Structure 1
Amino acid sequence: MKKLKLTLLILPFSIVLINCNSTKKGAQYTSVEKNLSYNKDIKPIIENSCTPCHIPPQGKKEPLENYTHVKENIASIIERVKLPQEDRKFMPPKNKKPALNDSLVAVLVKWQQQDMPE
């Protein structure tokens, strides 16, 4: 009898957790479906994940300081953030910044697919 009561208590809780998790996944996917722009969506990602190495005057690597630079390098950026973290070409380096999560990578990919609006 105790097992039945316990099961009846746990079952609704489990259903709530499952639904909450799927709602979060849907929200991430929906945010990528909108029309993206460099200034609103891409620039914050670059500023957060690529500074100071790619932003002059401190940055000594390929500059990613403006729309033109990012647009010219978007294929390389996407390729490098998708590499395994153990790959020496992976960006951003583990010891500098945290890796971009799947949602942020999806935003970069979607922006490229939308012909990189400013």
Structure 2
Amino acid sequence: MKKIPLIILMISLSLVIVNCSSSKKGTADPKISYKTDIAPIISNSCTPCHMPPQGRKEPLENYIHVKENIVEILERVQLSQDNRKFMPPANKKPALTTDQIALLVKWQQQNMPE
């Protein structure tokens, strides 16, 4: 008689363990890369002002430049649009979307993989 409750307990515990481990797989943040995710945002929003030879601003033409300037990039794209330091300027390009800014933030949090 004692074997039945033990078997039920073991089965229940097994189900809990399986459900816990499978739910963690779905919650992990996807890896963000410069080449796939970040470069298109920079290219679309920062060209031509930050792309030499036309650009006369801080160059953001490659991974190293963007990585070195990510703190300032994040600060400037999150300013109020009426702030003169807001990027990109409204008369040149549309503001980054909330999703694009979140992607930049996550990339920074993931140590900016190339």
C-alpha separation between the residues in 2 aligned to 1:61 and 1:80?
14
Identity %: 69
- Does residue 33 of structure 2 align to residue 37 of structure 1? yes
Map of 2:79 onto structure 1: 83
C-alpha separation between the residues in 2 aligned to 1:59 and 1:100?
19
Structure 1 residues without counterparts, runs of 5 or longer: 1-29
Q: Over alpha carbons, which structure has the higher Rg? A: 2
Map of 1:53 onto structure 2: 49
**SS of structure 1 residue aligned to 2:35:** helix
User: Which string of whole-angstrom CA distances, capped at 9 and with x for unpartnered residues, describes residues 11-68 of structure 1?
Assistant: xxxxxxxxxxxxxxxxxxx9xx310000000000000000000001100000000000
- Does residue 111 of structure 2 align to residue 115 of structure 1? yes
- Does residue 61 of structure 2 align to residue 65 of structure 1? yes
C-alpha separation between the residues in 2 aligned to 1:98 and 1:62?
19
* TM-score, normalisation: structure 2: 0.75
Task: Count residues in correspondence.
Answer: 87
C-alpha separation between the residues in 2 aligned to 1:96 and 1:72?
24
C-alpha separation between the residues in 1 aligned to 2:40 and 2:53?
18
CA RMSD between the two structures: 1.1
Q: Which runs of 4+ in 1 moved over 4 A?
A: none
Name the aligned partner's letter for residue 111 of structure 2.
D
* TM-score, normalisation: structure 1: 0.72
